[in-house]
Amino acid sequence: MKLSVLYNLTRMWSGSLLFLFTQVILVSSLAPNDSCGWNITLETDAVSYVTTAGYPMEYPPSQHCTWVVTAPQPDNKIRIIFNPFFDLEDTDCNHDYVEVYDGGDELSPRMGKFCGRVAPPMIISSGSQLLIKFVTDDENNGAGFSIKLKSFKSTSQCSRNFTDPQGVITTPLFPKKYPNNLNCTFMILAPETSEIVLEFDSFDMEGDPLLLPGPKCQYDWLDIWDGLPEAGLHLGRYCGETSPGQVIAYSGILSMTVTTDHAITKEGFSANYTIHERSLPSGPKYEDKCRVNINLEIGRGNYLTSAGYPMTYPPSHECVWVLTAPEPHQKILINFNPFFDLEDTDCSHDYVEVYNGGDELSPSMGKFCGKVAPPLMTSSGNQLLIKFVTDNENHGGGFSVQYEVFKTAPQCSRNFTDPQGVIETPGFPEKYPNNLNCTFMILASNTSEIEVEFKSFDMEGNPLLQPGPRCPYDWLDIWDGLPAVSLHVGRYCGQELPHRVISYTGILSMTITTDHAITKEGFSANYTIRERSLPSGHEMKLWFHL
């Protein structure tokens, strides 16, 4: 009980400290249903704040505040970031809530209505104005919110044409994160008799959560066309961390459109292209490439492609590829390009079959045809066989499959007893591995307090507005004491930095759990063990009125 109060106070401290030096807390006395709020015109490169009266202490009841925020230039957009310490006492947003509208009045589209204790995500206007509305009823008040506002130059002017025989195409700002609200078209223009080969070196766009139904790539995506955008052959839509790999266009034009939404951005992609004279696969050469044993290298994915992909594959062929991982205990992961097209409906004429082993006596993992790409597959041993069979008629575009050595999670549990130190996810700041299950314990004497402060945090989170459990994929649990049995301080995922945590039991435990797909940078935190010193009431007052 005492601990949870202290914990909450700690949360407030870090919340208020975050903005302490950059703002004056705005306190005004309000009559019931007093209207409040004002018009804010942002200055170029300057940061401004909107804060509920009294934040981070209780806000007054019966308020109705409206702030209209305007960017300095008509072609600017506005980015708003909520302080993670967010607290509007309501569960269904009927009584106390904050709303954001994408424009200067309440007739503009509403971008969200928020309440409870989870701070809303970053929001970006599509134009140069935003309206923020804060409504409270006459009871149950929380601590309110604080919002940081900044205007920035809109970056939707990103379309470009490429005509050089070779070049590099990247998302804007690459390798930094791409901007929100992009709508760019890249076109490679070449003579009609040439082929354009595009090869992706790196790819990361906000993806769909795994295994959730709904349209593919709902948030940010790349479309690729052999021909003009929308009109040419659609080669695929890509998002997440699955690279399109190599793409070939035969029409003399390769188009890409990049679309990003108003929240969460990634590094995007970098690809190089070469324009050369067309060369379709010829018989004997193709035969050579058709029965191959491939030895995988650690840390390096590669592709297998049906000849001519994504154009028509040759008839009457049988190809067999045997993939072998270097070590007997390793597994192989294969991932088909979503542009998959084998002209058959019952897989008796044209098909691709995957065997869980080095020969065709091994168990089949599936026989695939039609236009729906097979799912992600992992071998149980260090060999996998892919067989591709075509008959003498009706040919489709074929398939492309990426293969790599499946990374099994390293042993990562560790105990910390030094008076101070740094705790990080394995490999930080590189992405953490899949399939982790680690326990970190900070062990101190029972008269000490352990303070942990997070510097950066990013674990695969629950996508915005998806129902279901919090943190279904990867997460960090923190316990004040032993893992699983002591007081549970919280479960964390996504990009929201956990607040500073103080443990008074002499043990602070963290467990990290990650699933088989999508990894992020993880976190870095530092800790200090010191003799316990509880703050007196006087000190607390000081902290709040600084």
First vs last Cα of the chain: how many Å apart? 27
Nearer to ligand NAG, 155 or 324 (CB): 155
Judge residue 142's burial from the number of C-beta atoms within 10 Å of its C-beta, 0-12 exposed, 13-18 middle, 19 or more buried: buried
Beta bridge partners of 277: 194
Alpha-carbon span 234 to 359, nearest angstrom: 35
Q: Which of the ranges 78-86, 234-242, 367-375, 446-454 carries the binding residues for ligand NAG, by CB under 6 A?
A: 446-454
CB of 494 to ligand NAG, least distance (A): 19
Binding of residue 275 to ligand NAG (CB under 6 A): no
DSSP letters spanning 26-60:
------TTEEE--EEEPPTT-EEEEE-TTTTSPPP
Exactly one of 4, 39, 94, 348 binds ligand NAG (CB under 6 A); which one? 39
CB of 193 to ligand NAG, least distance (A): 18
Alpha-carbon span 262 to 247, nearest angstrom: 28
- Token pair of 346 as six digits: 């019952």
Exactly one of 29, 295, 316, 446 binds ligand NAG (CB under 6 A); which one? 446
Binding of residue 221 to ligand NAG (CB under 6 A): no
Nearer to ligand NAG, 395 or 499 (CB): 499
Q: Which of the ranges 144-152, 215-223, 365-373, 444-452 carries the binding residues for ligand NAG, by CB under 6 A?
A: 444-452
Binding of residue 279 to ligand NAG (CB under 6 A): no
Q: Which of the ranges 44-52, 329-337, 412-420, 486-494 carries the binding residues for ligand NAG, by CB under 6 A?
A: 412-420
CB of 528 to ligand NAG, least distance (A): 4
Alpha-carbon span 326 to 406, nearest angstrom: 11
Alpha-carbon span 66 to 64, nearest angstrom: 7
CB of 288 to ligand NAG, least distance (A): 20
Kindly tell me the number of DSSP H helices and DSSP E strands found in the chain: 3, 37
CB of 352 to ligand NAG, least distance (A): 25
DSSP letters spanning 185-231:
EEEEE--TTEEEEEEEEEEEB--PPTT--S-SS-SSEEEEEESSTTT
Binding of residue 400 to ligand NAG (CB under 6 A): no
Nearer to ligand NAG, 64 or 367 (CB): 64
DSSP letters spanning 376-399:
PEE-SSSEEEEEEEE-SS----B-
DSSP secondary structure code for residue 61 in this structure = S
The answer to whether the peptide bond before residue 56 is cis (omega within 30 degrees of 0) is yes
**Angle made by CA atoms 408, 413, 418, in degrees to the nearest 5:** 145
Binding of residue 21 to ligand NAG (CB under 6 A): no
Collapsing DSSP to helix, strand or coil, 325 comes out as coil
Exactly one of 159, 348, 364, 392 binds ligand NAG (CB under 6 A); which one? 159
Binding of residue 274 to ligand NAG (CB under 6 A): yes
CB of 22 to ligand NAG, least distance (A): 18
Nearer to ligand NAG, 184 or 386 (CB): 184
The answer to whether the peptide bond before residue 429 is cis (omega within 30 degrees of 0) is yes
DSSP secondary structure code for residue 138 in this structure = S
Binding of residue 163 to ligand NAG (CB under 6 A): no
Q: Which of the ranges 30-38, 108-116, 276-284, 491-499 carries the binding residues for ligand NAG, by CB under 6 A?
A: 30-38
- Token pair of 504 as six digits: 């008074």
Alpha-carbon span 66 to 105, nearest angstrom: 10
Binding of residue 32 to ligand NAG (CB under 6 A): yes
Tokens 């994929």, residue located: 473
Q: Which of the ranges 33-41, 49-57, 79-87, 336-344 carries the binding residues for ligand NAG, by CB under 6 A?
A: 33-41
Assign residue 5 a region: left if phi > 0, alpha if psi is -120 to 50, beta otherwise? alpha
Exactly one of 153, 289, 414, 470 binds ligand NAG (CB under 6 A); which one? 414
CB of 196 to ligand NAG, least distance (A): 9
Binding of residue 197 to ligand NAG (CB under 6 A): yes
Binding of residue 166 to ligand NAG (CB under 6 A): yes
CB of 160 to ligand NAG, least distance (A): 5
Nearer to ligand NAG, 91 or 420 (CB): 420
Binding of residue 35 to ligand NAG (CB under 6 A): no
- Kindly determine how many residues on this chain lie close enough to bind ligand NAG according to the rule CB under 6 A: 34
Of residues 103 through 122, those in contact with ligand NAG by CB under 6 A are 104
Alpha-carbon span 60 to 31, nearest angstrom: 9
H or E, element range at 18: helix 2-20
Residue type, 453: E
Residue closest to 400 by CA, chosen among 455, 337, 443, 464: 337
Binding of residue 161 to ligand NAG (CB under 6 A): yes
Binding of residue 415 to ligand NAG (CB under 6 A): yes
DSSP secondary structure code for residue 144 in this structure = B
Q: Which of the ranges 17-25, 408-416, 457-465, 486-494 carries the binding residues for ligand NAG, by CB under 6 A?
A: 408-416
Alpha-carbon span 471 to 352, nearest angstrom: 36
CB of 282 to ligand NAG, least distance (A): 20
Which residues here bind ligand NAG, judged by CB under 6 A? 32-33, 38-39, 62, 64, 68, 104, 159-161, 166, 183, 187, 197, 199, 259, 272-274, 413-415, 420, 437, 441, 446, 451-453, 513, 526-528
